[in-house]
A = this chain, B = another copy of it.
Amino acid sequence: MTVEEIVSGNRLALARAATRVENREADDLLKQLFPHSGRAQVLGITGPPGAGKSTLVDQLTLGYRADGKTVAIVAIDPSSPFSGGAILGDRIRMLRHHDDPEVFIRSMATRGTLGGLAAATSDMALLLDAAGFDIVIIETVGVGQDEVEIARIAPVSVVVLVPGMGDDVQAIKAGLLEIADLFVINKADQDGAERLERELHQAEFSTPVVKTVASEGRGIDELRAAIAALPQRKLTAERWKRRLAEMIRERLMERLSLKELDSAAEEVSQRRRDPYSIVHEFIDRHFGERLRD
Chain A residues at the B interface, C-beta cutoff of 8 Å? 27-28, 30-31, 34-35, 38, 48-50, 53-54, 77-83, 87-89, 110, 113-115, 117, 140-149, 152, 165-172, 174-175, 177-178, 234-238, 240-249, 251-253, 255-256, 258, 261-262, 264-266, 268-269, 271, 274-280, 282-283, 286-288, 290-291
Contacts A175-B81, A274-B34, A276-B34 given: A240-B269 contact, CB under 8 Å?
Answer: yes
CA distance A238 to B245 in the complex (A): 29
Q: List 24 A-B contacts (CB under 8 A).
A: A27-B276, A48-B48, A49-B172, A50-B165, A50-B166, A78-B144, A78-B148, A79-B174, A80-B175, A82-B178, A88-B170, A88-B171, A113-B245, A114-B245, A115-B249, A144-B148, A236-B269, A248-B256, A248-B279, A248-B282, A249-B256, A255-B291, A286-B290, A287-B287
- Is A152 in contact with B77, judged by CB distance below 8 angstroms? no
Count this chain's copies in the assembly.
Answer: 2
Chain B residues near A279 (CB-CB < 8 A): 244, 247-248, 251
- Is B240 in contact with A172, judged by CB distance below 8 angstroms? no
Contacts A78-B171, A152-B113, A168-B50 given: A244-B278 contact, CB under 8 Å?
Answer: yes
CA distance A278 to B251 in the complex (A): 12
Return A82 CB to nearest CB of chain B, in Å.
5
Return A287 CB to nearest CB of chain B, in Å.
6
CA distance A242 to B152 in the complex (A): 26
Identify A244's interface contact among B234, B252, B265, CB under 8 A: B265
Chain B residues near A115 (CB-CB < 8 A): 115, 145, 249
